[in-house]
Amino acid sequence: MSAAPSPDRAWFPALIEPQVRKYLLGQALSMLGAWTLDITLNLLVWQLTGSPATLGLLNFLLYGPGVLVTLGLSSRLTAANARRITVRVLGAALALALVLVLAAAMQWLSLPLLLGAAALRGVLGGMEVPSRQMLLLNICADPSRLGNVVAMNTVVFLLARSAGPGLAGLMFAPLGPVWAFALAALTLGFMLRCVLQLQVEVAAPPAGTHPGTGGLRGAWAFVRGDSFGSLFMPVVACVAFCVGAYQTLVPVLASRVFGDASFWTGWFYAAACVGALVAALLLSSRHMDALLQRMLLAVAWCGVLALAVLAVSSHPLPTLLSFALLGFCTSFVGTGTNATLQRRVPPQARGGLIALFLLAFIGPMPLAQLVAGALAQWLSVGSAFALLAGTLLAGLLILFGARWHQLGRIELDITKL
């Protein structure tokens, strides 16, 4: 039997390790189901109320509680307890999905129930994402593959974030919410089975490690002192706020501009999935470092272009292409930044860095959903996209402009910033 390919020869080095493959398969399916559930909640709320502001409130509840929970959990999250916490959170999420299946089947769904389910999903998500990431980092047997493993995990998350909503939109009209909630329960159960089968070996902390260098404090000190982290962590937050807000606006755009909320919601999210998939295939390959060096800084600006086109487009083709570009931008910037930082951070500060990255990448989304909902409530959906494009443009000009001013030149190579 031939030996497994070395990381420098394998196209996708993360997939060499059997435990990583098992985890990522469960992660892909469970996150697909979770996003299908979340967007089904969006479509139900839109069907019940027709209110963009209420959609914004729903998405605030889906993400807002998780911000505080993630920060609170990070101080207690270790390699030793990550698997146990992941199992418990998956069990709770599975129970919630089954309750929603029953409520949908019995036609008990109401606005208070949907908002309550969203709030509970937000709390569970704040515990689930960091514990899953810590678990993955500790089943990676070869440290040389860590960067690609982190990239592949983030890619899987972002792909599910694009494919799950698209699947929810396509399923909603012909099948109804029961099947979407049942899919979420089935995939969460599969992930729970995968996690229970993983073998986790907890390594001893490095000799001479100072206790104050870990956790949030150590991660914060690292990001502030790192030339890459001090620039791209704020860039991630800016992209997450302006691009992440489109989740609230998609059903509004599909209904008001294209006349069919469920049909076009599915297609728009599917287009975003295609864009994310392209970024995923690029960054999970052995060429990740070269691509990040040449493209990471430029790709952030693609979100401005895509949002600007969505502000004025009323035709399907440019709209679909713009959502594909948004998916590519989010996937590439989020994946590239997380993978780069996890390879540079001291191991004892890795849990804290997970929390800080999630705070930057997911933390702005609750406020973004509220803002997007309010803008679409009082203005046109095109005006909402235009304001988001202008905000992202201003943010990137400030962040990159300050670094370019320090260098005395415009520099697109991230290794020289």
pLDDT-derived band at 306 (thresholds 50, 70, 90) equals very high
Q: Is the pLDDT of residue 161 over 90?
A: no
CA angle 134, 140, 143 (to 5 degrees): 105
Half-sphere exposure of 186 (CA within 13 A, CB side): 9
- Model confidence pLDDT, tens digit, residues 85-128: 899 999 999 999 999 999 999 888 899 999 999 999 989 988 88
Question: Has residue 190 been placed in a domain?
Answer: yes
Question: For residue 90, what pLDDT is reported?
Answer: 93
DSSP 8-class letter at 6: P
Question: For residue 299, what pLDDT is reported?
Answer: 92
Between these two residues, 155 and 335, which has the higher pLDDT value?
335
Percent of the chain with pLDDT over 70: 92
Between these two residues, 16 and 204, which has the higher pLDDT value?
16
- Model confidence pLDDT, tens digit, residues 234-265: 999 999 999 878 878 888 898 889 888 778 88
Question: Has residue 8 been placed in a domain?
Answer: no
Out of 283-297, 308-322, 361-375, the most confident range is 308-322
Question: Has residue 6 been placed in a domain?
Answer: no
Between these two residues, 142 and 34, which has the higher pLDDT value?
34
pLDDT-derived band at 386 (thresholds 50, 70, 90) equals very high
Average pLDDT of the residues in 351-380: 82
Question: Has residue 1 been placed in a domain?
Answer: no
Axis crossing angle, helix 18-49 with helix 177-197, rounded to the nearest 10: 160
Question: For residue 7, what pLDDT is reported?
Answer: 46
Joined tokens for residue 206:
């490095």
Average pLDDT of the residues in 199-225: 66
User: Could you tell me which of 344, 334, 351 has the C-alpha nearest to residue 137?
Assistant: 351
CA angle 349, 351, 354 (to 5 degrees): 110
Question: Has residue 298 been placed in a domain?
Answer: yes
Handedness of CA 190, 129, 69, 64 (dihedral sign): negative
- Model confidence pLDDT, tens digit, residues 387-404: 999 999 999 999 999 888
Q: Is the pLDDT of residue 60 over 90?
A: no
Question: For residue 359, what pLDDT is reported?
Answer: 82
Lookup result for tokens 């860095």:
353
Question: Has residue 188 been placed in a domain?
Answer: yes
Question: For residue 322, what pLDDT is reported?
Answer: 95
Question: For residue 388, what pLDDT is reported?
Answer: 93
Between these two residues, 53 and 229, which has the higher pLDDT value?
229
Question: Has residue 273 been placed in a domain?
Answer: yes
pLDDT-derived band at 375 (thresholds 50, 70, 90) equals confident
CA distance 307 to 292: 23
Mean pLDDT of the chain: 84
Question: For residue 74, what pLDDT is reported?
Answer: 67
CATH of the domain at 388: 1.20.1250.20
Q: Is the pLDDT of residue 8 over 70?
A: no
Q: Is the pLDDT of residue 65 over 60?
A: yes
Average pLDDT of the residues in 39-55: 88
Question: Has residue 376 been placed in a domain?
Answer: yes
Instruction: Give me the domain span that covers residue 175.
Output: 13-202+213-416
Q: Is the pLDDT of residue 174 over 60?
A: yes
- Total domain count, the chain: 1
Question: For residue 206, what pLDDT is reported?
Answer: 46
- Model confidence pLDDT, tens digit, residues 286-304: 788 888 888 998 898 999 9
Handedness of CA 315, 316, 321, 327 (dihedral sign): positive
Distances (CA, A) of 70 to 67, 130, 217, 241, 247: 5, 7, 15, 18, 21
Question: For residue 207, what pLDDT is reported?
Answer: 45
Q: Is the pLDDT of residue 205 over 90?
A: no
pLDDT-derived band at 75 (thresholds 50, 70, 90) equals low
